[in-house]
Amino acid sequence: MIIEETLPTVNSIKVTQDEVFAVSPAGTSQASVEVFGRLLHALNQGSAAIQNENPSIRGRTMINGLRSAAVIGLSSLLALAMAFGKAEDRDLVLWDVAARNITTLEGVFPKLGAAKLIHVGEQHDDADHHRAQVDVIRFLADAGISLAVGLEMFQKADQELLDRWVSGSLKEEELQARFRTSWGGGWDLYREIFVLCRARKIPLVGLNIPRAITRQVAREGFASLTDEQAASLPPVTCRVGPEYEALMRRAHGNHAHPVSDQDFTRFCEAQLLWDAAMAYHALEYLAEHRERTMVVLSGWAHAWKPGIPRQISGLKRGTPQVVLLPEIEDRMERSETTADECDYLYGY
């Protein structure tokens, strides 16, 4: 066998990282090989036992066979790791939904550069989606576009704190504490976004409303809000029609539906209120900072065109917007997604 010719007969099964690297696919980095250090350690621990139990020629042959299998197996694992590696090792790719072809940020820059709002949707717990958001922000900033970044994760009431962060006068643990209170877990997934904006002096803009209000609307309906609660909201309406309910059913899947139609209508009211309030706050900021383009970071079901973008268009018709959504199995796929939902699907 070829492997027997390339690997000498030895008295130990011990495999080194360099050996695995040597037979790994082209482009594999040494750092990737080191990921398998723990596997190598466990494998090498068995070497002494096999050697002691089988000191004969037959034992050495067995060691050699195991050793060859180990190298081949680990290099195969590396090939899989490369195929499904981290986003930072790959380039962001866009699927043009209208043109039905693959493109890049550079390829769609004319459209991005002409927009006032660029929505980059996410699944909140997906690290690749946040990596893509960083890539979009960095690309636009490098291109010389004057940016602001609108955040679902923070409320409008957090604006002073966000301004202090960008100015450099707020400690990271203070921003993290407010993030945890306002949003919950996942700081590590978002941290690079906040650090990048601070380094580039890109304003962060809180778009959301108090979670207590949206939770109440989801449980009891929009009509349950007191006059005082309603007065604390921007002047938005919350009328849920059959079309919007149908869109929400598709967006969230049957598993996410409340048990009754009334409960689902209230859920839709909460989503619609969320969309409308964030749209209002985004336009309010842009009216005061006309030189800026806003990148809006939100959950994908807020970012798609029937969500925040539709509310933007209702409040200020003709506002140029671009919508980028992640490819999501059974939700947003190339074969099913239309230009009525987004402009581009992104992935790595």
Q: Does the structure show a pLDDT above 90 at 191?
A: yes
Q: Which of 21-25, 227-231, 277-281, 300-304 has the lowest mean pLDDT?
A: 21-25
Q: Does the structure show a pLDDT above 60 at 275?
A: yes
Higher-pLDDT residue of 14 and 67 is 67
Print burial letters for 25-57: b (CB count within 10 Å at least 16), e (below 16). Answer: eeebeeebbeebeeebeebeeebeebbeeeeee
238 near 209, Cβ under 8 Å?
no
Distances (CA, A) of 190 to 119, 210, 343: 16, 20, 24
Q: State the CB neighbour count (10 A cutoff) for residue 261.
A: 10
What is the helix (H) or strand (E) element at residue 197, kind and residue range?
A: helix 187-200
Locus of tokens 């778009």: 207
What's the pLDDT score for residue 17?
46
What is the helix (H) or strand (E) element at residue 280, kind and residue range?
A: helix 261-288
Most confident of 105-109, 240-244, 250-254, 328-332: 105-109
pTM of the model: 0.74
What's the pLDDT score for residue 241?
81
Domains of the chain, with CATH numbers?
Answer: 2-83 (no CATH), 87-347 (3.40.50.11550)
Instruction: Round to whole Å and give the CA distance between 144 and 156.
Output: 27
Render 126-178 in DSSP notation, one character per residue.
-HHHHHHHHHHHHHHHHTT--EEEEEEEEEGGGHHHHHHHHHT-S-HHHHHHH
Q: Does the structure show a pLDDT above 90 at 205?
A: yes
pLDDT band at 330 (very low <50, low <70, confident <90, very high): confident
| Cα angle value 158/174/122 (rounded, 5°) | 60
